[in-house]
């Protein structure tokens, strides 16, 4: 079954749930270095100065979706990646018989590249929610807010370039995952492909703030930390000492990184959609803002 507003694309920003105007909050002791609060007309694309919009099928993780800006056929005109008109970004999975594997969805990667600052604390966070479809109708869906090392764009392979997953969840489960991927595949410091991770219960599908902090105030790399939190409550801390390899730690905590937002469909981790999986706005990930802060 499709979400009810599939036949009413012009009303999507109203029917998809709250689309309120947020600015990234200020925090005592931190400067806001960069942010995007997704202002713009309903149905328009995110700021092209800030984001690369990914299209096509990247052929990773056995995922199904073709990344797209929009889905079009004789019945519907509905976007995979759109501004709501209420200062949010919507990443929407759609069933599509015309797509290679039957699904389209949305993914953006920041043109902005941040470099954690030695001697301080770097904070990267996003406020996001999930669509109102029942979690039981989200088998095979895989939303994520994450970061990759800029070195990947310059020819370094994965996972050596470094990957920090700030928030992932699969199959509608109200369980968030924060994970590090690093070093070599398979095995290595991060036990790939598993990575080093922790889980946290998500209270509901409503708005929550997901954050990662690079605490580089200590001059001893082994005492520095990466810390994950949900609504300000820490659920994972990983130190340089736990990684145990300074070169790997430098790739994770001292090297330029970019930000990704996407809604994957299928893949090795969640498995695949079933007959009960619903597409559309009720199964989207919606993002109010993304911000980089620095002490």
- pLDDT value of position 2: 24
The values of phi and psi at residue 187, to 5°, are 80, -135
- pLDDT value of position 286: 98
Domains and CATH numbers, the chain: 4-9+30-294 (2.60.120.200)
Q: Tell me: the pLDDT tens digits for 68-102?
A: 986 555 444 458 999 999 999 999 999 999 899 99
pTM score: 0.92
Let me know: does 277 contact 1? Beta carbons within 8 Å.
Answer: no
- pLDDT value of position 5: 29
Local structure of residue 168 (DSSP, 8 states): E
- pLDDT value of position 13: 37
94 three-state secondary structure: strand
Local structure of residue 7 (DSSP, 8 states): G
- pLDDT value of position 161: 98
Residue 6 half-sphere exposure toward CB, CA atoms < 13 A: 20
For 106, the token pair is 């949305």
- pLDDT value of position 79: 85
Q: Tell me: the pLDDT tens digits for 25-58?
A: 999 999 999 999 999 999 999 999 999 999 999 9
- pLDDT value of position 73: 53
Let me know: does 43 contact 82? Beta carbons within 8 Å.
Answer: yes
The CA angle 102-139-286, to the nearest 5 degrees, is 85
Let me know: does 103 contact 266? Beta carbons within 8 Å.
Answer: yes
The 3 state secondary structure assigned to 37-93 is: CCCCCCCCCCCCCCEEECCECCCCCCECCEECCEEECCCCEEECEEECCCCCEEECC
Series of mean pLDDT values for 10-residue runs along the chain (295 residues): 28 39 89 97 93 94 90 58 95 93 96 97 98 98 98 97 98 98 98 98 98 98 98 98 98 98 98 97 98 98
Q: Among 286, 229, 270, which Cα is nearest to 63's?
A: 270
Distances (CA, A) of 34 to 122, 123, 146, 240, 271: 12, 11, 16, 26, 35
d(CA 56, CA 186): 27
Bridge-based pairing state of the strands 103-105 and 66-67: parallel
Let me know: does 94 contact 280? Beta carbons within 8 Å.
Answer: yes
- pLDDT value of position 69: 80
- pLDDT value of position 17: 40
d(CA 276, CA 154): 41
């Amino acid at each position: 079954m499709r979400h009810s507003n599939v036949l009413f694309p012009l009303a999507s920003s109203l029917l998809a749930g709250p689309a309120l105007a947020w600015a990234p909050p200020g925090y005592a002791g931190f400067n806001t270095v960069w942010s995007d609060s997704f202002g713009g007309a309903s149905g328009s694309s995110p700021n092209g100065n800030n984001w690369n919009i990914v299209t096509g099928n990247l052929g990773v993780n056995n995922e199904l979706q073709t990344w797209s800006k929009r889905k079009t056929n004789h019945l519907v005109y509905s976007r995979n990646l759109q501004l709501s008109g209420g200062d949010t970004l919507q990443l929407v999975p759609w069933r599509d018989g015309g797509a290679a594997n039957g699904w389209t969805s949305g993914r953006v990667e920041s043109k902005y590249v941040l470099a954690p600052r030695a001697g301080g604390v770097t904070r990267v966070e996003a406020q996001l929610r999930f669509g109102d479809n029942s979690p039981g109708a989200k088998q095979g869906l895989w939303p994520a807010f994450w970061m990759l090392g800029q070195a990947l764009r310059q020819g370094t392979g994965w996972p050596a370039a470094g990957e920090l997953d700030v928030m992932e969840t699969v199959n509608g489960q109200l369980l968030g995952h924060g994970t590090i991927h690093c070093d070599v595949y398979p095995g290595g410091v991060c036990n790939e492909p598993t990575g080093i991770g922790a889980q946290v219960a998500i209270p509901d599908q409503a708005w929550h703030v997901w954050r990662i902090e690079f605490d580089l105030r200590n001059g001893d790399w082994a005492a520095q930390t990466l810390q994950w939190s949900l609504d300000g409550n820490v659920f994972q801390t990983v130190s340089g000492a736990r990684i145990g390899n300074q070169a790997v730690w430098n790739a994770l905590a001292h090297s330029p990184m970019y930000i990704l937002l996407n809604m994957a469909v299928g893949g090795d981790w969640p498995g695949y959609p079933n007959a009960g999986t619903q597409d559309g706005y009720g199964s989207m990930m919606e993002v109010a803002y993304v911000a980089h802060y620095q002490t």
